[in-house]
Amino acid sequence: MNTGTRLAIYGLGLVVAFGGAFGIAGAVVPDSVIARWNEESEMNGHEMGEGAEHDSSADTKVDSVKGQTLGLDGYVLSTIEAPEAAGEPGELSFQIKDDGGAPLTEYARTHDRDLHLIIVRSDGSQFRHVHPTLDDSTGAWSIPWEWAEAGSYRVYADFTPAGDDASGLTLTRTVHVEGEFTPRETQQSRVDHVDGFTISLDGEMEAGTTSDLTITVMRDGEPVTTLEPYLGAFGHLVALREGDLAYLHVHAGGADPKIGDTSGPEIAFAAKTPTSGRYLLYLDFQVDGQVHTAEFVLDAARGDGVKGAESGSHSDDGH
């Protein structure tokens, strides 16, 4: 596939035309192109003045989802320094910089951490949620790192700058890891088996509305009632939209747990899905001090009055 074709496929993903672009390993765009697309998208969203006629077709161009730009609200995610090949031990590091190029060193703590780092390969595999260490003197975040497999990876920095009026931001860049790999094809899945646990997901996702999802954790056929607080909740859920890997970050419902509290076997989530199509969900939960990650794949149905392209892969209900 030539470069022009890859760019075209990725561009379609950014305007929510899924078309199966997720499964194409080479569909990666330079950061400058991504920034330009986001700038143009913001311009389109502000061209409509008061009293102007609303065009519902624009709803699918500008979503409220995160993780589609390397710069936002005056902050930029720097180049990612990391090992170049799979199996090569080293360090992954980066900075968050302001408009003047100065590194950000003061953050507001969110979900028990100053910054959350999410890394996933372009086909949705190799998901990792980690928390690097900040060097206050340089503003550099770093963590020991080794890629398990080759491929193109999306790196998401999820953080909130310090300040009373600061909003949470999710910035992203792409990192290429040398070597060949076969992309994983996604299949709708509601059950995962991890480290002796069986984790199942109930509920339906519908575009344009908030959907209730319930995740149940079992072990050896018995309900797990010893779920421990992790990142301020009994479960931590990340959802990525197939096609452009747009990022949705949600937490379990209910009151925040206190240290020493336990729960289970069910964890409830409320997820607002911006468009129809396929979503990749990753659940982190903790038992006996150990964090485990379960993965699911769900198709969001098209809601009333909501426009959205269908996923390239179809479920039994046609979505």
Q: What is the pLDDT of residues 38-55, one digit of tens each?
A: 443 333 333 333 333 333
Q: Are 163 and 107 in contact (CB under 8 A)?
A: no
Burial (CB < 10 A; 0-12, 13-18, 19+), residue 92, is buried
Q: Where are the beta strands (DSSP E) in the chain?
A: 71-72, 75-77, 90-98, 115-121, 128-130, 133-135, 140-145, 151-159, 169-177, 191-194, 197-202, 210-219, 222-223, 227-228, 236-241, 247-251, 266-272, 277-287, 290-300
Cα(264)–Cα(229) distance, integer angstroms: 11
CA dihedral 34, 246, 16, 51 (to 10 degrees): -80
Q: β-strands 236-241, 227-228: how paired?
A: unpaired
pLDDT in tens, 228-266: 999 999 999 999 999 899 987 676 788 889 989 999 999
Q: Is the dihedral of CA 147, 151, 157, 158 positive or negative?
A: negative
Q: Are 137 and 193 in contact (CB under 8 A)?
A: no
Cα 214 to chain centroid distance, Å, stands at 19
Q: Are 45 and 58 in contact (CB under 8 A)?
A: yes
In the DSSP assignment, the letter for residue 161 is B
Determine which helix (DSSP H) or strand (DSSP E) holds 136, and give its type and residue range. none
Question: Please, what are the domains in the chain?
Answer: 66-183 (2.60.40.1930), 191-300 (2.60.40.3340)
Structure tokens at 189: 């899945």
Which pLDDT value is given to residue 64? 58
The length of the chain, given as a count of residues:
319
In the DSSP assignment, the letter for residue 70 is S
**DSSP per-residue letters across 37-61:** HHHHHHHHHHS--TTPPP-GGGGGT
Please name the residues in contact with 97: beta carbons below 8 A apart, sequence gap of 6 or more.
Answer: 75, 76, 78, 103, 104, 139
Asked if pLDDT for residue 277 goes beyond 80, the answer is yes
Asked if pLDDT for residue 172 goes beyond 90, the answer is yes
Which pLDDT value is given to residue 54? 35
Quickly state the pLDDT bin for 302 (edges 50, 70, 90): confident
Asked if pLDDT for residue 106 goes beyond 80, the answer is yes
Structure tokens at 92: 């992954």
What percentage of residues in the chain have a pLDDT greater than 90?
A: 64
Half-sphere exposure of 97 (CA within 13 A, CB side): 12
Residue type, 66: K
Cα(289)–Cα(222) distance, integer angstroms: 19
